[in-house]
Structure 1
Amino acid sequence: MADKLTRQAASDALPTWRFLLQRMHLTVQAPDVATAFDFVARVGAVAAPLGRQPDLDVRGTVVHLAVSTEPAGGVSDADIAVGRAVDSVVAEMGLTSQPGTLTVVEIAIDAMDIDAVRPFWDAVLGWDVIARDDVQDPLRLGPALWFQQMDEPRPQRNRIHLDVTVAHDEAPGRIERALAAGGHLVSDSRAPAFWILADPEGNEACVCTWQGRDPVPG
């Protein structure tokens, strides 16, 4: 398997893309639907010779792309090559990336016995268990579920919280808007990897970025 790049190296290599949850993401706004599908066709043409194909999602005039090295995610030099080829198409067509629109949601389930809980979610969703034992949609259309080990039962609180991963430069604004909407900061001790926020009733969401997660060079 190809060597994985650090999050910092991947982010630096594709400055118009954003690293979210082990993948590089790009969102492009086209002026009309025809241009959006023309862009998709051109992406296919430049990606095919490289032996890789980014995931593509077209919603009207908006095209979202993501590249990663399977099966467990992560970004390799081959993914960077695809990203740069796509960047050349974006430039040729006069399009621009819109990183502020990017959001990837994970669902975290706090559990005492993860091995007992995980099979239920795998069965009820009909997805695959891959990458850190997460339950993931093989088509990557739905949010992944991951399981956080609890040391003792917590019956007094909701045991499900949302992990909301955004572009690193979007996180401060996202947090500010959430606080202005009535939320409060539970903890920023692990920032900029993640901030824990809660709504007025205490239901929690972690705003997450790639930053602060790579090993510190020795």
Structure 2
Amino acid sequence: MTRLTNPQILEARLGDWRVLLNQLATRFRTGDFETGAEFVAAIAVAADAAGHHPDVTLTYPSVAVNLSTHDEGGVTGKDLDLAREISMLAEQRGLVADPASTQSVEMALDTADASEIADFWSVVLTGSPDNVDDDAVTDPAGRVPPLWFQQCEPHEVPHQRFHLDITLPPEEVGPRTEAALAAGGRIGWETRTFRVLEDRQGNRACLCWSAGRNEGD
């Protein structure tokens, strides 16, 4: 399969779908959880038959679907075919597509040297230094948005006005911290409910845990 360009995807006229960051995305309004669950089951059968599997998110009022061919890094004919099949399954159930409600979020970090800090952020966000590709961190489990590194000139560490909070099971905090330190990080400070980590360039993230929260003084 060959990765398709955006004009080629648009030529397919998939009215239920939108192109977001090298994938097809849509949301179908289901109205209730049981209807959504049955629709997801139907999608699973179609995906297994096609040998191609989307990312599906079931919530109370809707089902969100994202399609891409990962080994091609984008949308291929397999995605177009399965998108048509999923739209047909939705139509059979009277489900309305709401593609305008879709979105995709990335995080970007300004840095003069991505190689110096990429392993740290891969560990902090995914638990492993092995999830860096093309100067971006992508979580294979899909738990966090991708983080990519914006090239900029060297500069002093600014006062951070926003940072990342990563909440973990308590037993994961220690191993994640040790891996971050091994990747060049350092501990800034901590309280009874979070630990501040810094990369080599002073950018910060908080590892958080639930124990100790909302328990009174």
TM band (smaller chain): 0.5 to 0.7
> 1:73 touches 1:131 (CA, 8 Å); kept in 2?
no
Change (3 A) 1:160 1:140: same
Q: Aligned partner of 1:90: which letter? A: A
2:112 is aligned to: 112
Give 1:61 shift: 2.4
1:74 is aligned to: 74
Distance 1:70 1:76 in 2: 10
Percent identical residues:
32
1:57 is aligned to: 57
Secondary structure, counterpart of 2:104 in structure 1: strand
Residue by residue over 1:2-44, the C-alpha shift from the partner in whole angstroms, topping out at 9 and shown as x without a partner, is 2100022223422211111111111111021111111111111
Distance 1:91 1:104 in 2: 25
1:153 and 2:155 matched: yes
Residue by residue over 1:180-203, the C-alpha shift from the partner in whole angstroms, topping out at 9 and shown as x without a partner, is xxxxxxxxxxxxxxxxxxxxxxxx
Change (3 A) 1:158 1:12: farther
> 1:17 touches 1:99 (CA, 8 Å); kept in 2?
yes
**TM score, norm. by length of structure 2:** 0.67
Q: How many residues align?
A: 161
> 1:47 touches 1:85 (CA, 8 Å); kept in 2?
no
Residue by residue over 1:65-123, the C-alpha shift from the partner in whole angstroms, topping out at 9 and shown as x without a partner, is 11111146300001111111101101111111112221211110110111001111011
1:132 is aligned to: 134
- Which protein has greater RCO, CA pairs closer than 8 Å, 6+ apart? 1
Change (3 A) 1:130 1:70: farther
1:142 is aligned to: 144
> 2:67 touches 2:83 (CA, 8 Å); kept in 1?
yes
2:204 is aligned to: none
Give 1:63 shift: 0.6
Distance 2:72 2:153 in 1: 27
Distance 2:157 2:135 in 1: 25
Change (3 A) 1:43 1:72: same
Give 1:154 shift: 6.0
Q: Which has the larger radius of gyration?
A: 2
- For structure 2, list consecutive stretches of 5 or more residues without a partner in the other structure: 164-217
* Map 1:1-218 → 2, pairs under 5 A: 2-13=1-12, 14-71=14-71, 73-125=73-125, 126=127, 128-153=130-155, 155=157
Distance 1:29 1:44 in 2: 18
Distance 2:84 2:121 in 1: 37
Q: Where is the strand percentage greater, Structure 1 or Structure 2? A: 1
Q: Aligned partner of 2:88: which letter? A: S
Give 1:158 shift: 5.6
> 1:58 touches 1:64 (CA, 8 Å); kept in 2?
yes
Ranges of 4+ aligned residues in structure 1 off by more than 4 Å: 154-161
Secondary structure, counterpart of 1:36 in structure 2: helix
